């Protein structure tokens, strides 16, 4: 499992529905989380990512030091599924997706991830649309980006 955490001042996900753009998720200050699942991932890996994304101190305090979490600033969380995080680019020029979790399993785990996150926090949790072609826009604040794997 991999997550990419990006500290943002604004982020939004738009999908096309019946030929018209529709915003499925949008936050102001907070964290955009891209999440990808590998074959073999299961619920046992979720807790690590959920705790880190809500407690990692990546927001500045009064002195400008990264000393506050998204929970501390009462920010938002925008969660977007991204299967390409499980892609392997080590060989050749075309990524291999052999290690990527099949879509049906990944969607179930993604939905569990969202449910557990909403149970864990009172913060605003917004999402993209699993399996859709999404337009993700963001203003990366810093830029500040972290990659978590387990």
Q: Containing domain of residue 81, as a range?
A: 2-149
Q: How far apart are CA 101 and CA 36, in angstroms?
A: 8
37 is catalytic: no
82 is catalytic: yes
Catalytic residue among 6, 54, 71, 82: 82
Over residues 18-47, mean pLDDT: 96
Q: Any idea what DSSP says for residue 83? A: G
Over residues 128-142, mean pLDDT: 95
CATH of the domain at 131: 3.50.80.10
Q: What is the mean pLDDT of the chain?
A: 96
Asked if pLDDT for residue 97 goes beyond 90, the answer is: yes
pLDDT tens string 49-64: 999 999 999 999 999 9
Q: What percent of the chain has pLDDT over 90?
A: 97
Q: Any idea what DSSP says for residue 94? A: S
* The overall pTM is greater than 0.85: yes
Q: How far apart are CA 8 and CA 5, in angstroms?
A: 9
Catalytic residue among 17, 23, 55, 84: 84
Asked if pLDDT for residue 113 goes beyond 90, the answer is: yes
> In terms of Cα–Cα distance, which of 51, 44, 43 is closest to 70?
51
For the chain, the domain total comes to: 1
pLDDT tens string 72-89: 999 999 999 999 999 999
């Amino acid at each position: 499992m991999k997550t990419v955490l990006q500290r943002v001042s604004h982020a939004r996900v738009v999908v096309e529905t019946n030929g018209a753009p529709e915003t499925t998720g949008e936050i102001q200050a907070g964290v955009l989380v891209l999440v990808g699942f590998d074959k073999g991932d299961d619920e046992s890996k979720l807790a690590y990512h959920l705790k880190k994304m809500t407690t990692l101190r990546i927001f500045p305090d009064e002195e400008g030091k990264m000393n506050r979490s998204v929970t501390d600033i009462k920010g938002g969380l925008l969660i977007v599924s991204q299967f390409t995080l499980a892609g392997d680019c080590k060989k050749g020029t075309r990524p291999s997706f052999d290690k990527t979790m099949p879509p049906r399993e990944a969607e179930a785990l993604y939905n569990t991830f969202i449910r557990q996150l909403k149970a864990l926090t009172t913060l605003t949790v917004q999402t993209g649309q699993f399996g859709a072609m999404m337009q993700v826009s963001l203003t990366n604040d810093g830029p500040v980006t972290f990659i978590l794997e387990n």
